[in-house]
Amino acid sequence: MSVKVLTIKEDLLGANQEKADKNHKLLDKHHNFMINIMSSPGAGKTSLIMQTIKRLKDKIRIAVIEGDIASTIDADKISKQDIPVIQINTAGACHLDANMIENAIDKLSLEQTDLVVIENVGNLVCPAEFAVGAHKNIMLLSVPEGDDKPHKYPLMFTEADVVLVNKIDVLPYFDFDVNAFSDAVSGLNPSARIFPVSAKTGEGLEVWFSWLEDALK
Amino acid sequence: MHEQSIVESLLALALENAERANAIRILKINLVVGEYSGVVEEAVDFYFSFLSRNTIAAEASIAYRHVPAQLRCRRCETIFTPEKNNLHCPECNEQQVDIIAGRELYIDSLEVE
């Protein structure tokens, strides 16, 4: 039997991208806006989401999709706010993909939702590779992680529309240079908006809330 | 770090293309992997070896072609390969750069019989 060479040139993430586009269209059809929040574990994604819910739930109908490798700890916290929460346990996978989000969106009543918030799995590498169909990618980087992260994880910073520098309340205790960090992010991604915040004390969050409200208009 | 889902897509794509060409066996998969794709070879091989069982790709080997990251300076347009953790342009020290290579992750070709 003779050996044949088949030229393929097909992207491995192509199928994921197609599904992400489908999710995006479905949300548009129902006038829903979806944000994909990504960061390392412990950077403050859940705290940011809780603050955002508290501040905006009277104006905007919010639903949350929680991605975790295991457990429902985050989902339990959020459902106490009387917000619809869909928990995705990825069973080991380090990121959410478009297929998981499609299944989660399916369980939401989109007619009763304005904003879908995805809390991605805590990880600075993989979530940036997998489009899910979000309208905006939000990235959180917390002060204790260090200001050199854009150089180490360039892809994540290239994909972000908004970069929140979280935990600025502990800036005095760390050698984190906010200007150096902002320059590094703008270097890779000049259109990214950078907001220094503290999800704990609430400092700086008003800028984030108004950005989000404007984005929804 | 996300090799399982990568390998699932890899296998699905390879099988689909091989079957369309009426192949009875896949011998080799030529894969192109960019430096920023975050894909680890050993992990791909590991997942491939058990996910491909009982398929016409069970005996296939994966050949990797690595693409180093390349950046282009937005000021002087120098194209350079960044040193580890330093994305500044080596000519003018600018850090306004575009990633022009290193994100690749695709099957270039299949060798089948």
* Chain A interface test: which of B67, B95, B98, B104 (most A C-beta within 10 Å): B95
CB contact under 8 A, A184 and B10: no
* Chain B interface test: which of A2, A3, A5, A6 (most B C-beta within 10 Å): A6
Per-residue pLDDT tens for A40-66? 999 999 999 999 999 999 999 999 999
Of A108, A164, A96, whose CA–CA distance to A133 is shortest? A96
Using 50, 70 and 90 to split pLDDT, how confident is the model at A7?
A: very high
ipTM comes to 0.87
What is the pLDDT averaged over residues B29-47? 92
Residue B54 contacts A where some CB pair is shorter than 8 Å: no
Give A92's contacts in chain B (Cβ within 8 Å): 4
Residue B11 contacts A where some CB pair is shorter than 8 Å: no
Using 50, 70 and 90 to split pLDDT, how confident is the model at A68?
A: confident
Using 50, 70 and 90 to split pLDDT, how confident is the model at A129?
A: confident
Distance from the Cα of B77 to chain A's closest Cα (Å) equals 14
User: What pairing do the DSSP bridges indicate for beta strands A85-89 and A62-68?
Assistant: parallel
Average pLDDT across chain A, whole number:
94
Q: What is the pLDDT of residue A78?
A: 85
What is the pLDDT averaged over residues A197-216? 97
More confident residue, A163 or B3: A163
Q: Which of A7, A94, A151 is the closest to B85 by Cβ?
A: A151
Q: What is the pLDDT of residue B56?
A: 97
What residues form DSSP beta bridges with B30? B63, B109
Give B106's contacts in chain A (Cβ within 8 Å): 8-12
Using 50, 70 and 90 to split pLDDT, how confident is the model at B97?
A: very high
**Percent of chain A topping pLDDT 70:** 100
* Chain B interface test: which of A12, A96, A97 (most B C-beta within 10 Å): A12
Residue B18 CB contacts under 8 Å (≥ 6 apart), including other chains: A6, B26, B56, B57, B110, B112
What is the pLDDT averaged over residues B43-62? 95
CB contact under 8 A, B97 and A6: no
**HEC letters along chain A:** CCCEEEEEEEECCHHHHHHHHHHHHHHHHCCCEEEEEECCCCCCHHHHHHHHHHHHCCCCCEEEEEEECCCCHHHHHHHCCCCCEEEEECCCCCCCCHHHHHHHHHHCCHHHCCEEEEECCCCCCHHHHCCCCCCEEEEEEEHHHCCCHHHHCHHHHHHCCEEEEECHHHHHHCCCCHHHHHHHHHHHCCCCEEEECCCCCCCCHHHHHHHHHHHHC
The yes-or-no verdict on residue B1 having pLDDT over 60 is no
Per-residue pLDDT tens for A166-179? 999 999 999 999 99
Q: Which of A14, A93, A183 is the closest to B2 by Cβ?
A: A93
Residue B5 contacts A where some CB pair is shorter than 8 Å: yes
- Is residue B112 within 8 Å of B88, Cβ to Cβ? no
Go through chain A and tell me how many residues it has. 217
CB contact under 8 A, A12 and B10: yes
CB contact under 8 A, A8 and B13: yes
Residue of B nearest to A17 (CA): B9
* Chain A interface test: which of B7, B8, B9 (most A C-beta within 10 Å): B9
Give A94's contacts in chain B (Cβ within 8 Å): 1-2
Q: Rounded to a whole number, what is the largest CA-CA distance in chain B? A: 55
List phi, psi (to 5°) of A30: -100, 15
